[in-house]
């Protein structure tokens, strides 16, 4: 059973997702939301099962989510899906395109690093 959001929690907010195998409901999401919610962002955790990866990633550019941060278990696979070398840390929408940010090695995020990458990608001060 998941947590349901009512429309007033989402209305007018840019949605950021953190995608991994077991992220939904983790305390790190609440910590990041406490920092960014008043700036017009809502961060959600999305659990991806291996068998649902292709469906999830192929629909990402058309979803309501503005930015998706990928946890280490999917960073290499996301980079390959988008025909990039390395490891995909995140993807975001910009001027009608879906931009993928890669690194040379996989990256583990703590709450501060998640906040920093969201601030950088979204241009939040």
Residue 85 covered by a domain? yes
Q: Is residue 110 part of a domain?
A: yes
Q: Is residue 68 part of a domain?
A: yes
Evaluate whether residue 7 is within a structural domain: no
CA distances from 18 to 109, 121 (A): 10, 14
Residue 111: give the domain boundaries: 14-122
Which runs of consecutive H residues, i.e. helices, occur in 62-110? Answer: 72-81
Cβ proximity of 55 and 63 under 8 Å:
no
Q: Give the model's pLDDT for residue 10.
A: 63
Residue 4 or residue 66, greater confidence: 66
Let me know if residue 76 belongs to a domain.
yes
Does 5 reside within a domain? no
**Has residue 3 been placed in a domain?**
no
Whether 8 maps to a domain, the answer reads no
Q: Does the pLDDT value for residue 106 go beyond 90?
A: yes
Residue 1's pLDDT is 34
Number of domains in the chain: 1
Q: What CATH number is given to the structural domain containing 60?
A: 3.40.50.10860
Q: What is the mean pLDDT of residues 83-112?
A: 94
- What is the value of pTM for the model shown? 0.86
Question: Over the stretch 20-64, which tens digit does the pLDDT of each residue have?
Answer: 999 887 899 999 999 998 899 999 999 999 899 999 999 988 888
- For residue 73, give both structure tokens: 């278990």
């Amino acid at each position: 059973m998941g947590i349901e959001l009512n429309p007033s929690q989402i209305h007018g907010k840019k949605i950021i997702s953190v995608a991994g195998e077991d992220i939904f409901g983790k305390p790190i999401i609440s910590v990041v939301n406490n920092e960014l919610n008043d700036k017009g962002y809502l961060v959600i955790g999305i659990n991806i099962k291996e068998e649902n990866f292709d469906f999830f990633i192929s629909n990402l550019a058309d979803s309501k989510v503005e930015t998706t941060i990928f946890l280490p278990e999917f960073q290499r696979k996301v980079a390959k899906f988008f025909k990039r070398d390395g490891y995909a840390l995140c993807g975001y929408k910009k001027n009608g395109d879906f931009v993928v940010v890669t690194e040379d090695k996989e990256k583990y995020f703590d709450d501060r690093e998640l906040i920093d990458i969201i601030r950088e990608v979204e241009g939040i001060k």
